[in-house]
Amino acid sequence: MCRLDQQGSQAAMTPSTHKAADGEMILIRGGVFDMGSDAFYADERPVRPAQVGDFWMDAAPVTQRQFAAFVAATGYVTAAERAPDPADYPGLSPEDAKPGSAVFTPTSGPVPLQRAGASALWWRWVVGANWRHPLGPERAVEGLEDHPVTHVVAADAEAYAAWAGKTLPTEAEWEYAARGGLAGRAYAWGDELQPAGRILAKTWQGDFPWRNTAPPGLERTSPVGLYPPNGYGLYDMIGNVWEWTADWYAPSPVAEANACCGPGGRLAERASADPHARIAIPRRVLKGGSHLCAPDYCQRYRPAARWPQPIDTSTSHVGFRCIRRL
C-alpha cells in the first residue's frame, strides 16, 4: 500500500489526526481473496474465490466540495435536478414530473421494521432535494463540504469519474479494498461491530428509524475521515454512505466480471431489474452500508454486504468513490 501523496500508512484500529485530502488515492495491490459471506444475507453467498488486479482507489468517498468543483468545471446537471420524463414512467402525470430525490425522514416512534414495504415509512420523495440541497430546497449544502456527496445516481457518479480520469470500481475491487487485508472477518476491522465499545464507522446510533442518539451534527452523514481508516488506509469504506459500483446486481453473485452474463455484461443489465417492480429499471450493486444501517434493521455495514439500487434512484444516503486501474 502507498499513497499518491506519499503519506505514511496507518493501521485500521489506530485513530489518527490525518484526514484524507481531496483527490488523495491509495495504491491497492491486487490478489486472490475469499469474497462474500455465508453468515448474513442470502445474496452474499457463497463465499467464493475472486481475483483483482492492482488499482488506485480514492482514500475517501467523493465529497460535496469535490463534486462542486466538477459541476463548476463542466456545468453538469444531476438526475435529481432534472424533471423525469413521463414517457419513461408510465402512470406519472406531467404535473408530478418534478425534480427531486428520496430523503430519509425519521418516524415519530417505533415501527414494524420487517413488514413488507416498511421502508416507505421513513423514506420521503422531496421535490427540490438534490446534492446542493440534501434535505430539500430550504436546506443548502453549506457546512457539509467535507461530507460525502449524496443524491447522485449511477450516471452522475460515472460522469464525475470520467471527468476525473477514473472509473467506478467493480464489486470485487470494492470488497477487496474494504477488507483492508483481513481475510474472512465479518467487519473491516475484525469480527466485532464495536470492539471494546469503540464506534469505528458512521452507522445508526439509537433505535432505528426514530430515535437517533448520534452527537449533534452527526445525525446523518459525517465528514469523511472522521473514523479510523482500514488496513489499506481507506476511510469510510463502511458506513456513512452506500457507494455505487460498476456491476449489475444479481441475487446470486456471478464470478465472471467481463462475460456477457457476468456483473458487467449486457444480459446482466437486463436481468438486474427487480422482477416484481412495475417498471423494469436496471439495478447496480451498492457496497458498504450507510449511516442508516443498524443492528436491528440493516446489518450491511460489512465488506461482503451488497444492495440492489435502481440506476435512476438517488437518495440522501448514497454516494461513491472512484478508482484508477494500473
Please count the other Cβ atoms lying within 10 Å of the Cβ belonging to residue 313.
Answer: 15
Q: Band of the pLDDT at 256, cuts 50, 70, 90?
A: low
Give pLDDT tens digits for 259-281.
Answer: 455 566 678 899 999 999 999 99
What pLDDT, on the 0 to 100 scale, is given for residue 252?
83
Residue pair 42/251 in contact (Cβ under 8 Å)? The answer is yes
Give pLDDT tens digits for 76-99.
Answer: 999 999 999 999 998 888 888 999
What pLDDT, on the 0 to 100 scale, is given for residue 267?
83
Instruction: Return d(Cα 88, Cα 139) in angstroms, integer.
Output: 29
Closest C-alpha to 267, from 244, 248, 253: 248
What pLDDT, on the 0 to 100 scale, is given for residue 141?
74
Instruction: Return d(Cα 288, Cα 57) in angstroms, integer.
Output: 15
What pLDDT, on the 0 to 100 scale, is given for residue 116?
84
DSSP bridge partners of 144: none
Kindly state the average pLDDT of the residues 173-181. 98
**For the ranges 199-203, 252-256, 275-279, which has the lowest average pLDDT?**
252-256
133 in a structural domain:
no
136 in a structural domain:
no
Residue pair 52/70 in contact (Cβ under 8 Å)? The answer is no
Instruction: Return d(Cα 157, Cα 325) in angstroms, integer.
Output: 17
105 in a structural domain:
no
Q: How many domains does the chain have?
A: 1
Query: How is 173-199 classified by DSSP, letter by letter?
Result: HHHHHHHTT--S-SBTTBS-SSGGG--
Quick check: 315 pLDDT over 90? yes
Quick check: 172 pLDDT over 70? yes
106 in a structural domain:
no
17 in a structural domain:
yes
CATH code at 32? 3.90.1580.10
Helices (H), 9-116: 64-74
DSSP bridge partners of 148: 63
Quick check: 216 pLDDT over 60? yes
59 in a structural domain:
yes
For 243, phi and psi rounded to 5 degrees? -130, 135
For the chain, what percent of residues have pLDDT higher than 70? 90
Give pLDDT tens digits for 5-39.
Answer: 323 333 333 333 456 667 899 999 999 999 999 99
What pLDDT, on the 0 to 100 scale, is given for residue 9?
31
103 in a structural domain:
no
273 lies in which domain range?
A: 1-79+145-326
123 in a structural domain:
no
